[in-house]
């Protein structure tokens, strides 16, 4: 495996692991603040990010590289509102998209079309995750702090996922 690409993929392992921790911290905040549906959604999102990390680990190892499990920084754990949580989630997802795009570009520079092909799954996944986060933010902004609306939002979000959005075309 190309060493530059191996290093970039290992850094992406850190990014995906960090994403899992960020969403886990958000889920904990939501749970202790009575947002059970949101916490369920964020716990599932945290698990999904961990699976993204594991997919990279296995790819690197199977290609003859060496995946590195990183130490992680403690994520932010206190938020003022659900809107703030999802605004930060959206910002985080756009950063992840930028990181994936950098690796895709590196693959093209290094003529590593196998890894480029592998990363297309991540490119598509990021499109879906950004769209989902944007949709959630739009719904929260429509509520404008309405407590009964927040209750219904929290109830409904527990069944929402990247996969369900992609499958319904929503």
Would you kindly state where each structural domain of the chain is located, as residue ranges?
A: 3-159
pLDDT of residue 161: 59
Which parts are annotated binding residues?
16, 49, 52, 93, 126
pLDDT tens for 57-107 read: 999 999 999 999 999 999 999 999 999 999 999 999 999 999 999 999 999
DSSP letters, the chain, are --HHHHHHHHHHHHHHHHHHHHHHHHHHHHHHTT-HHHHHHHHHHHHHHHHHHHHHHHHHHHTT----PPP-PPPP---S-HHHHHHHHHHHHHHHHHHHHHHHHHHHHTT-HHHHHHHHHHHHHHHHHHHHHHHHHHHHHHHTT-HHHHHHHHHHHTT--HHHHHHHT-
pTM: predicted TM-score of the whole model, two decimal places? 0.89
Using a pLDDT cut of 70, give the percent of the chain over it.
94
Which CATH number describes the domain made up of 3-159? 1.20.1260.10
Which parts are annotated binding residues for Fe cation?
16, 49, 52, 93, 126
Residue 12 pLDDT greater than 90, yes or no:
yes
Residue 165 pLDDT greater than 70, yes or no:
no
For the chain, the average pLDDT equals 92
pLDDT tens for 40-56 read: 999 999 999 999 999 99
């Amino acid at each position: 495996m190309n060493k530059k690409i191996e290093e970039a993929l290992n850094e992406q392992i850190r990014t995906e692991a960090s994403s899992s921790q960020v969403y886990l911290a958000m889920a904990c905040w939501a749970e202790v603040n009575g947002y059970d549906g949101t916490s369920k959604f964020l716990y599932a999102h945290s698990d999904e990010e961990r699976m993204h990390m594991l997919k990279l680990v296995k790819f690197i190892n199977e290609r003859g590289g060496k995946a590195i499990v990183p130490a992680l920084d403690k994520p932010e754990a206190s938020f003022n509102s659900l809107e703030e949580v999802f605004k930060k989630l959206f910002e985080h997802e756009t950063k992840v998209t930028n990181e994936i795009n950098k690796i895709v570009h590196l693959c093209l520079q290094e003529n590593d079309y196998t890894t480029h092909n592998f990363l297309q799954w991540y490119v598509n996944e990021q499109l879906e995750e950004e769209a989902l986060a944007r949709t959630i933010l739009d719904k929260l902004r429509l509520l404008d702090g309405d407590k009964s609306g927040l209750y219904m939002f929290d109830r409904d979000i527990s069944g929402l996922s990247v996969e369900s959005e992609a499958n319904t075309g929503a």
